Amino acid sequence: MVKRIDPKDVPIEKGSGYPAPFGAECATRLRQRLGNAAGLADFGVNLLRLPPGCWSSQRHWHSAEDEFVFVRDGHHLQNRSDRDVVLLEMGSRRPADDEGDYPDIDLKFLKGDIYVRKDGRSFSEE
């Protein structure tokens, strides 16, 4: 059975879960988790709004998840215009298996979506 959703009824999340100082570029990012609202379990669908100057994320890649657009290098989106950008973000959901690296900054994520420094130190240890 198909579950119809209206994006206007889906909660808007602002910013990111990145530890300081890595969330600043994404602080005004607006995300609506359409996949969750529709009851999807195997892949995610997010409606993103990037105000001028906002990034979708820090540049990264995944070890165990697929994404709708395959890129061979780390990736992120930046809105360099003077208007909002609206896009759909889709990918598989395997946070228990996935790890990733942010090649431009001292950050990586471990299985379970846990952020640590590249040497493995927790941000809470600082």
b/e map of 59-87 (b: 16 or more CB within 10 Å)?
bbbbeebeeeeeeeebbebebeeeeebee
- pLDDT reading at 70 higher than 80: no
- Residue 26's pLDDT is 97
Q: Which range is least confidently modeled, 14-23, 48-57, 88-97, 103-112?
A: 88-97
Both structure tokens of 31 = 């995300």
Question: What CATH number did the domain enclosing 38 receive?
Answer: 2.60.120.10
For residue 94, being part of any structural domain is answered with yes
Domain count, the chain: 1
Residue bearing the bigger pLDDT, 36 or 2: 36
Does residue 1 fall inside a structural domain?
no
Residue 4 located in a structural domain: no
Is 95 domain-assigned?
yes
Q: What's residue 2's pLDDT? A: 62
Cβ atoms of 61 and 101 within 8 Å: the answer is yes
Which pLDDT score is estimated for 74? 82
* Pairing label, strands 114-116, 107-110: antiparallel
69 pLDDT more than 60: no
Domain around 90: 9-125
Q: Is residue 100 one of the residues assigned to a domain?
A: yes
The pTM score is 0.70
